[in-house]
Homo-oligomer: A and B are copies of this chain.
Amino acid sequence: MSWVTGAEGSPYGVTNLPYGVFRYDGREPRVGVRIADLVLDLAGAEAVGLVLAAGTLGRPTLNDFMALGRPQWTSVRQRIVDLLTDPAHRPAVEPLLVPLDAAELLLPIEVADYVDFYSSEHHASNVGQIFRPGQPALLPNWKHLPIGYHGRAGTVVVSGTPVVRPTGQRATGQGPTVGPSVRLDIEAEVGFVVGVPSVLGRRVAAADFADHVFGVVLVNDWSARDIQAWEYQPLGPFLGKSFATSISAWVTPLDALADAFVPAPDQDPPVQAYLRDTPHLGLDLRLTVEWNGERMTEPPFSTMYWTPAQQLAHLTVNGASLRTGDLYASGTVSGPQRDQVGSFLELTWGGAEPVTVGAGQTRTFLEDGDSVTVRAVAPGPDGTTIALGEVTGRILPAR
């Protein structure tokens, strides 16, 4: 039980404690942890010896802290819990609590490589049906390996950053034209952040997932469907994605999600040995997608076909090394029902079935001024619920 006002019953209570990077009161960017509607200044706490983390908490990203490894992650977290629950610490800790309103939240990690998977069977099937009607919805490789590709790390932005509508080439009946995208979409995803690097040439086993992965962010992989459709053969998505990828300001540590691991869907055909994770666990993260404040869909992350441990094993099976700050995202999270999809491409079935967004507003894809917010909750200990930090963004007109 925390002595912090508002912590009890909050989805950001003492069992959650996501990490972020923030700035307040004219000070340098620093690491903080969220409790209720406050941010504990961990740089300040480390400076006075309340927390020990090798000096990493005064840095402008989480990377140095994440590089310390799981034993340190666990001990720092336990110490923070002590500070926020033992009333004896209150006099020293309370002055380090900053109201969320007074904190400017920054990009929490320096992204090394960004990989995006495509691991929802429902999403891949929907996309297959929309783009290749009459053909098998899934390509032959899909159930044998988690399909993925590299995205642009340098355009990963923190939640709240406005997104300028991208311009690019798209196909028309008379050849390509150039202009602002007219099919601007979202992809609601879950991202995994690597803390501990690996050695070039050596694979990382699925079983070692928790030794390397520090925590989880929510991701909106903004997608210009018209640009993507014209460019993507044969080397995959490029400019249709690279203009912006938003992530939540809060990184939820895996330790906070211990009660959220659930059996993942059975896999048939059986997967190759390097992809076997025992137990085969996904995460019961319940996403919601809001369009201009209206709740549109509720994608269930527990339905993902490939698990984050399998994705990690696949990513490295060829000897590719991990770096601190690597981010790999799940791909669009879509459940079996139309109100569970994680993209507007699916929600409007390729733009053929407009939806209503608020009073009198119909939409197929995003219009200028629209905003999208992805949220998620997960089971916490003892029947409680914890929240992941939301990821939100608003569309600005093309330049």
Interface of A toward B, CB cutoff 8 Å? 112-113, 118, 139, 141, 144-145, 147-155, 157, 164, 166-169, 171, 175-176, 178, 200-203, 224, 227, 230-240, 242-244, 269, 272-274, 314-315, 317-323, 326, 396, 399
Could you tell me the distance between the alpha carbons of A204 and B25 in the complex, rounded to whole angstroms? 35
Which of A118, A145, A150 neighbours the largest number of chain B CB atoms within 10 Å of its CB?
A150
Could you tell me the distance between the alpha carbons of A155 and B315 in the complex, rounded to whole angstroms? 12
Closest CB-CB distance, A160 to chain B, in whole Å? 14
Residues B234 and A139 in contact, CB atoms below 8 Å apart: yes
Could you tell me the distance between the alpha carbons of A154 and B153 in the complex, rounded to whole angstroms? 11
Could you tell me the distance between the alpha carbons of A112 and B190 in the complex, rounded to whole angstroms? 23
> Which residues of the other chain, B, contact A200 by a CB distance below 8 angstroms?
155, 157, 164, 244
Can you give 5 A-B contacts (C-beta < 8 A)?
Answer: A112-B154, A145-B230, A155-B321, A227-B318, A235-B237
Residues B202 and A154 in contact, CB atoms below 8 Å apart: no
Residues B237 and A236 in contact, CB atoms below 8 Å apart: yes
Contact of A112 among B153, B230, B239 (CB under 8 A): B153
* Chain B: CB-nearest residue to A240: B318
* Chain B: CB-nearest residue to A200: B155
Stoichiometry, as copies per complex, reads 2
Beyond the given pairs A145-B176, A176-B272, 7 more chain A to chain B contacts, judged by CB atoms under 8 angstroms and listed by A's residue number, are A141-B171, A150-B238, A154-B321, A168-B317, A202-B399, A235-B237, A239-B314
Residues A154 and B238 in contact, CB atoms below 8 Å apart: no
Residues A154 and B322 in contact, CB atoms below 8 Å apart: yes
Contact of A151 among B150, B274, B319 (CB under 8 A): B150
Residues B326 and A154 in contact, CB atoms below 8 Å apart: yes
* Chain B: CB-nearest residue to A151: B150
Could you tell me the distance between the alpha carbons of A240 and B239 in the complex, rounded to whole angstroms? 21
Could you tell me the distance between the alpha carbons of A237 and B169 in the complex, rounded to whole angstroms? 22
Top 7 A-B pairs, shortest CB-CB distance: A236-B236, A166-B318, A164-B201, A149-B235, A150-B150, A239-B318, A235-B236
Contact of A149 among B149, B157, B166 (CB under 8 A): B149
Could you tell me the distance between the alpha carbons of A227 and B272 in the complex, rounded to whole angstroms? 14
Which of A168, A224, A272, A318 neighbours the largest number of chain B CB atoms within 10 Å of its CB?
A318
Residues A243 and B168 in contact, CB atoms below 8 Å apart: no
> Which residues of the other chain, B, contact A242 by a CB distance below 8 angstroms?
150, 318, 320
Residues B169 and A243 in contact, CB atoms below 8 Å apart: no
Could you tell me the distance between the alpha carbons of A118 and B231 in the complex, rounded to whole angstroms? 12
Could you tell me the distance between the alpha carbons of A323 and B155 in the complex, rounded to whole angstroms? 10
> Which residues of the other chain, B, contact A323 by a CB distance below 8 angstroms?
154
Residues B243 and A318 in contact, CB atoms below 8 Å apart: yes
Residues A139 and B318 in contact, CB atoms below 8 Å apart: no
Could you tell me the distance between the alpha carbons of A235 and B315 in the complex, rounded to whole angstroms? 14
> Which residues of the other chain, B, contact A326 by a CB distance below 8 angstroms?
154
Could you tell me the distance between the alpha carbons of A319 and B151 in the complex, rounded to whole angstroms? 15
> Which residues of the other chain, B, contact A243 by a CB distance below 8 angstroms?
201, 318-320
Closest CB-CB distance, A236 to chain B, in whole Å? 2
* Chain B: CB-nearest residue to A166: B318
Contact of A113 among B154, B171, B319 (CB under 8 A): B154
Closest CB-CB distance, A39 to chain B, in whole Å? 26
Residues B224 and A232 in contact, CB atoms below 8 Å apart: no
